[in-house]
Amino acid sequence: MEVKLKKETVVISVGGSLIVPNRINTPFIKSFKKIIEKYVRKGWRFVIISGGGQTARNYQNVAKQFTALSKDDIDWIGINATWLNANFLRIIFDKKSHEKIFTDPTKKISFKEPILIAGGFRPGASTDYVAVLIVKKLKAHRLINLTNIDFVYTRDPRKYNNIDPIKDITWKAFQKLLPKKWDPGLHIPFDPVASREAQKIGLEVAVINGRNLKEFERYLDGKKFRGTLIHP
- Other residues' Cβ atoms within 10 Å of the Cβ of residue 65: 7
Q: If binding is defined by CB under 6 A, does position 187 make contact with ligand UTP?
A: yes
Q: If binding is defined by CB under 6 A, does position 51 make contact with ligand UTP?
A: yes
Per CB under 6 A, the segment of 107-115, 134-142, 158-166, 179-187 that binds ligand UTP is 179-187
What length is written for the chain?
232
Q: If binding is defined by CB under 6 A, does position 25 make contact with ligand UTP?
A: no
Per CB under 6 A, the segment of 23-31, 93-101, 114-122, 167-175 that binds ligand UTP is 114-122
The least distance separating ligand UTP from the CB of residue 16, rounded to whole angstroms, comes to 3
Give, for 47, the enclosing helix (H) or strand (E): strand 46-50
Q: If binding is defined by CB under 6 A, does position 56 make contact with ligand UTP?
A: yes
Binding string to ligand UTP for residues 4 to 23, with x set by CB under 6 A, is what? -----------xxx------
Q: Catalogue the E-assigned strands of 81-178.
A: 115-118, 142-147, 152-153, 165-166, 168-170
Q: If binding is defined by CB under 6 A, does position 105 make contact with ligand UTP?
A: no
Per CB under 6 A, the segment of 37-45, 89-97, 108-116, 120-128 that binds ligand UTP is 120-128
Select 57 or 114, whichever has its Cβ closest to ligand UTP. Answer: 57
| C-alpha closest to that of 97 among 47, 24, 26 | 47
- Beta bridge partners of residue 201, listed in sequence order: none
Rounded Cα gap, residues 4 and 174, in angstroms: 23
Rounded Cα gap, residues 145 and 131, in angstroms: 9
The least distance separating ligand UTP from the CB of residue 61, rounded to whole angstroms, comes to 12
Rounded Cα gap, residues 157 and 52, in angstroms: 21
Cβ–Cβ < 8 Å for 171, 200: no
Cβ–Cβ < 8 Å for 11, 134: yes
Q: If binding is defined by CB under 6 A, does position 149 make contact with ligand UTP?
A: no
The least distance separating ligand UTP from the CB of residue 74, rounded to whole angstroms, comes to 6
Site for ligand UTP, rule CB under 6 A: 15-17, 51-53, 56, 74-75, 78-79, 82, 120-123, 125-127, 129-130, 184-187
